[in-house]
């Protein structure tokens, strides 16, 4: 069976932390843990920004190299690659649709928005994500977790990710290995 690839949006392709940092006023490099950023501590403001017109396409830029990583991969994987993202409001959904339309032209129909994306994971799926909780869950259900390295998914982060990490240069090789069943990560 052809493997499904789920690629996360926030924190993988889209620099949500950078967008929040500009608006809330903190240094993105200070965010070392998933749940302890100044943005998360100010949840009302954070979710307000998620709903604000223009927040996603104007303030959240693509991470370096990630557009050039995902677009060719998507083209090579037909409809087996889906960009998957959680949402908390219709306005956030609209903002993410706008973001993909602006930065990932040709990938608009690949966007899948969900209240809880982990419910979709099945054994054998390839899950590209930055969240330790999501990566650990993917591993638990028998999917292949591919971690895109961020300051909040290091071995000392809380929650921690103890598997390998990849950047835009090394991620294509990891995905290729996962699709060919020779991925050596501890999954
Ligand atoms: Mg994420």
| Centre of ligand 1 from the C-alpha of residue 134, in Å | 8
In a domain, 59, yes or no: yes
Distance 125 CA to ligand 1 centre (A): 17
Range of the domain at 61: 5-179
What pLDDT digit, counting tens, does each position of 125-176 carry?
A: 999 999 999 999 999 999 999 999 999 999 999 999 999 999 999 999 999 9
Look up the pTM and report it.
0.94
Q: Is 31 exposed, middle or buried (0-12, 13-18, 19+ CB in 10 A)?
A: buried
Residue 177 Cα to chain centre, angstroms: 19
Residue 126 domain-assigned (yes or no): yes
* Structure confidence by residue, pLDDT tens digits, 110-128: 999 999 999 999 999 999 9
Ligand 1 centroid – CA 115 distance (Å):
13
Asked whether residue 187 is domain-assigned, the answer is no
Residue 186 lies in a domain: no
184 CA to centre of ligand 1 in angstroms: 23
Kindly report the CATH number assigned to the domain that includes residue 137: 3.40.50.1000
108 in a structural domain: yes
**Encoded tokens for 55:** 């927040």
Q: Say if 77 falls within a structural domain.
A: yes
Prior bond to 146 cis, omega within 30?
A: no
Does the residue 185 lie in any domain?
no
Task: Report the number of distinct structural domains present in the chain.
Answer: 1
Residue 79 lies in a domain: yes
């Amino acid at each position: 069976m052809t493997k499904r690839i789920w690629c996360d949006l926030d924190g993988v392709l889209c620099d949500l932390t950078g967008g929040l940092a500009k608006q809330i006023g903190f240094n993105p490099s200070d965010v070392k843990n998933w749940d302890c950023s100044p943005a998360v501590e100010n949840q009302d403001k954070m979710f307000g920004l998620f709903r604000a017109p223009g927040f996603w396409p104007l303030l959240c830029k693509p991470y370096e190299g990630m557009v050039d990583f995902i677009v060719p991969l998507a083209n090579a994987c037909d409809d087996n690659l889906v960009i998957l993202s959680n949402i908390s409001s219709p306005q956030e959904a609209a903002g993410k649709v706008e973001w993909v339309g602006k930065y990932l032209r040709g990938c608009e129909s690949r966007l899948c928005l969900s209240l809880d994306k982990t419910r979709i994971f099945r054994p054998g799926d390839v899950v590209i994500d930055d969240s330790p909780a999501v990566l650990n869950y993917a591993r638990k259900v028998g999917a292949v977790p591919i971690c895109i390295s961020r300051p909040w998914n290091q071995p000392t982060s809380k929650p921690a990710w103890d598997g390998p990490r990849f950047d835009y240069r090394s991620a294509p090789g990891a995905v290729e290995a996962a699709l060919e069943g020779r991925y050596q990560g501890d999954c």
